[in-house]
Structure 1
Amino acid sequence: MPKYIDLEITINDTPYPITRTLRVPAATDLHQLHYYIQLAMGWELSHLHLFTTTIGKFTDYFDDFEPSEDQPEFGIKITDVLPRKGSSMTYLYDFGDDWKHTIRHIGSVIDANERGVRLRNAIGACPKEDSGGVWNLPQRSTRKPDLTLIQQRLDEFYRLTVTDGEAPQPAFCKVHGFDQLDEDTEQFRHPLSNAADQAMRFHIYDTIEDLYGFEHLQPFDNDPFGYRPLHIQAPPVELAKDAPIVRAVMPMLIDMLSKQIKYTSSGYLPVKYVKAMFAELSDNRYPMIRELQRYQPSSESVVKAATVLRHILLMSGLVETTKTTMGLTLKGLELVAMRDYAQLYLELLEATLRKFNWGCITYSNECPLQQSAAPIMLLQSSLLLPQTPVSDEMLYDLLAGIVAGIMREPIERKIWHEEDEDPRKLLFRQRYCYFFGLLGIWEHEAKPNFLAAITESRQISVTELGRSLIGFEREANVR
């Protein structure tokens, strides 16, 4: 008579319960169970996983270049790792988001009428793939799991794999309606394109480790312009000269070589400079700045970019101001007179990354860690392939992979965002596209309207300038 085991599978540490109860054949091995968990929970087989049991750790992925003590999960039966009622183990899915599941043996039956895998109960809808882990879940959710759909998928998968003998991964794709591209390489179209994202992530992290070493990242982030083993450096002169921020301020700085400029009676920059700045920044390669401008550039009071530039200049130490005028400092006078575009850019870059408050363009000072982690984002950007666009969400995930707190920063002020979208991503998108566009580090696609500009994901390409800004002393990085 066939024996079945009842398993309670719970995602740990969620703000509301997410649990599945499955009845599975006792002969099921861990590799089969992996697929049953994916189907029951609603995951999409997009990331690596690991079972941790009392007799060891088991997985289906092995790296010849980085051997580990993990064992193959194939042929390891549930009864080997959960021998009795009350036994438990963990199933970790997605090593970035760290969805840890506790699996408990809650009973067993012998029943000739049972067939396949049965969903006995389901509580709480599955989180979305790549949503950032339990820290990014809302405090409550009204979404409910579709028990009928889950059971249909389990039945079809069991038929395809156990009855028909089909390999699990192609069967999983058929159950979900994913298109298979290549049976040999087992690469799939969307939504399993997350595999490509994972490959990108590993490429970036491996390159950082090989070139610079992760031990340098924290001191670099703390002092990105002064830490010599890894630091932000001045770009080539021609690239600096063409940077939007330099093009926008240079006419005004050159005029200051002969005289100070006078503010308007309201204390703003003269209108001719405001219009000239905005014209330079209305570049199709960096449309976020133009898209967030909702008024005609008739005065600094209604042109956010002009105010941003004025304050960056002041924080850079290139200019000084009185109540009525602005003029060059000695440092500014020397650099402008010599047309030292590379050093001018570096001074403006440092002021933008480390001194100016990015919250001004999102009307929110929430999530300050996003800005403080900008040197790490700059480092990661420098390693992306040229002329190869990636989504801003991918860049956010890359940053969160090193700076874990990015996804956990509390947000107290209500920020408008789509349901199930992390508002931190919205802030990240606006701030980074704006300031990395202003600095000429990223190019990005335009959006059709203001709402799309502040809410929709963008495709980002890293410029040659952006890839030139990271320097390091090779002797300090011998590994």
Structure 2
Amino acid sequence: MPAPRVSVRTRIFELEMVLAGAQPPVRRRVQVPGEIDLAVLHEVVQSAMGWTNSHLHEFEIAGRRYGIPDPDWPSQDVVDETKGKLFRLVEQGDRFGYVYDFGDNWTHEITVEKITGAEPGVRYPRCVSGEGACPPEDVGGIWGYEEFQAVMADPAHPDHDERLEWARGSFDPHRFDLDETDRALQWLAWRPLAPVS
């Protein structure tokens, strides 16, 4: 299936995504077409933050939960995320939540910072800024992440070598690479608006 195309009518939503409670702060600012559904926004969050899409997730917008409904639990009252278009659910200034991994409970606070027109020749979605490294998967949520960082910072800690190996030799909680993060979103790219000639 060909990638969707950005048009002159496409509204671009600039979203700030903050991992709640993380120290040092972990945040990303992304720009996405407003016509994407929440299933695609889930992929944007995963790719931009650095998660591996290994666990369940859910959005909460204006008191409603959006995700992947479980046919075995119809009473859960979860709206199918593929049926929720971003531009129909939020406006500039709105805030909403995204939870990833119901065990570790990584809560993300997402703010619609601004809504603009598309720039000719620009690929969307794209990451325009950020800070902080994504915590390792399955580290135990915010509390486990704090402990993980303390162990990593103390070479004398009895668990240091084990955690270092688990982190594949190093982990810098302050690391953020804009180009690397933006490249992680390329697989979701819409065809850009043609430059004006």
Determine helix, strand or coil for the equivalent of 2:114: strand
Query: What amino acid maps onto 2:14 in structure 1?
Result: D
> Does structure 2 retain, via aligned residues, the 8 Å contact 1:55–1:81?
no
> Does structure 2 retain, via aligned residues, the 8 Å contact 1:10–1:103?
yes
Match 2:17 to one of 9, 13, 26: 9
Query: What amino acid maps onto 2:182 in structure 1?
Result: Q
Match 1:102 to one of 109, 117, 134: 109
C-alpha offsets along residues 182-222 of structure 1, whole Å, 9 cap, x if unaligned? xxxxxxxxxxxxxxxxxxxxxxxxxxxxxxxxxxxxxxxxx
Match 1:51 to one of 37, 54, 59: 59
Query: What amino acid maps onto 1:99 in structure 2?
Result: W
Corresponding residue for 2:175? Answer: 144
1:417-436 aligned within 5 A: none
Cα distance in 2, alignment partners of residues 38 and 143 from structure 1 = 18
C-alpha offsets along residues 389-437 of structure 1, whole Å, 9 cap, x if unaligned? xxxxxxxxxxxxxxxxxxxxxxxxxxxxxxxxxxxxxxxxxxxxxxxxx
Query: What amino acid maps onto 1:60 in structure 2?
Result: I
> Does structure 2 retain, via aligned residues, the 8 Å contact 1:48–1:61?
no
Corresponding residue for 2:140? Answer: 132
State the Cα distance separating 1:115 from its structure 2 match: 2.5
Identity %: 30
> Does structure 2 retain, via aligned residues, the 8 Å contact 1:51–1:57?
yes
Cα distance in 2, alignment partners of residues 65 and 26 from structure 1 = 30
Give 1 or 2: higher strand fraction: 2
Give 1 or 2: higher helix fraction: 1
Match 1:153 to one of 166, 179, 184: 184
State the Cα distance separating 1:59 from its structure 2 match: 0.2
C-alpha offsets along residues 148-193 of structure 1, whole Å, 9 cap, x if unaligned? 22211211x124xx56xxxxxxxxxxxxxxxxxxxxxxxxxxxxxx
Corresponding residue for 1:92? Answer: 99
1:49-448 aligned within 5 A: 49-54=57-62, 56-65=64-73, 67-83=75-91, 85-113=92-120, 114-138=122-146, 142-155=173-186, 157-159=187-189
C-alpha offsets along residues 204-244 of structure 1, whole Å, 9 cap, x if unaligned? xxxxxxxxxxxxxxxxxxxxxxxxxxxxxxxxxxxxxxxxx
Provide structure 1 residue ranges, at least 5 long, that are not aligned to the other structure: 164-479
Corresponding residue for 1:257? Answer: none
State which structure, 1 or 2, has the greater radius of gyration over its C-alpha atoms: 1
Determine helix, strand or coil for the equivalent of 1:80: helix
C-alpha offsets along residues 419-459 of structure 1, whole Å, 9 cap, x if unaligned? xxxxxxxxxxxxxxxxxxxxxxxxxxxxxxxxxxxxxxxxx
State the Cα distance separating 1:116 from its structure 2 match: 1.7
State the Cα distance separating 1:67 from its structure 2 match: 3.2
Match 1:27 to one of 35, 42, 45: 35
Corresponding residue for 1:365? Answer: none
C-alpha offsets along residues 62-115 of structure 1, whole Å, 9 cap, x if unaligned? 1414631111011311122212x2101000000000000000000011134133
Cα distance in 1, alignment partners of residues 138 and 90 from structure 2 = 30
Cα distance in 1, alignment partners of residues 95 and 55 from structure 2 = 23
Root-mean-square deviation (Å): 1.9
**Structure 1-normalised TM-score?**
0.32
Provide structure 2 residue ranges, at least 5 long, that are not aligned to the other structure: 1-7, 151-171, 192-197
> Does structure 1 retain, via aligned residues, the 8 Å contact 2:131–2:174?
no
Cα distance in 1, alignment partners of residues 72 and 48 from structure 2 = 31
More relative contact order, 1 or 2 (CA 8 Å, 6+ apart): 2
Match 2:50 to one of 42, 56, 59: 42
Q: How many residues align?
A: 159
Determine helix, strand or coil for the equivalent of 1:74: helix
Determine helix, strand or coil for the equivalent of 1:67: helix
Determine helix, strand or coil for the equivalent of 2:47: helix
